[in-house]
Amino acid sequence: MRFLLAPLAVATLAGCCVCAPSPAPVAAGDVPVAPGTPPLTDFYADCGRGLLDAARLELELERDAGRAAVWNGYIAATQRTQDCYWAAYQPLLAQHRSGSLNRVEGRARLRELGDGIAATRVALARNLRRPEAVARAADMQRQIAQADNRLREFCTNPDVGDWLPPGFDCTRLSV
């Protein structure tokens, strides 16, 4: 079977806050984020669950690609997952700018965000090639374009550049 989301979901969750101890919370006054913005650990837990949900629905597509409900659920799950990872991007940058997040943790978290967006993009592109996807092609292509724009922002933002590990190739995120 050729699934990208399922293995990535397991690999991502193995190193994130869902399965590992959460880092110490940052005091509310330390990070200039919008009121009501959940802590990053909440974003990562939600994103991990979203990634697993999208992977589960992708497995259902293998079994029953003709059901509209499965396709609709899959498209909604990939959008929620991509949006979740993107929503964590600005608070993460705010923590970086305020100096409340160390460089090593920042790199790891930032890479998770890029990988999560890239994983949804790759899965959408792969499933777009299915004959059953014709009716949903416009939605899937819109999500792919959105992921490409987000990955471009992610890789060209000067605040992000100093976090990326030496030799890191942003082009590997966009497939």
* pLDDT computed for residue 44 by the predictor: 67
* pLDDT computed for residue 139 by the predictor: 92
* pLDDT computed for residue 162 by the predictor: 63
Per-residue CA distances from 151 to 85, 88, 92, 120 (Å): 11, 14, 15, 12
How high is the mean pLDDT of the chain? Answer: 72
What's the mean pLDDT in 24-42? 48
How big is the chain by its Cα radius of gyration, in Å?
A: 17
**Phi then psi for 18, rounded to 5 degrees?**
-65, -40
Cβ atoms < 10 Å from Cβ of 161: 11
Start-to-end Cα distance in the chain: 20
- Nearest Cα neighbor of 140 from 152, 129, 151, 153 is 129
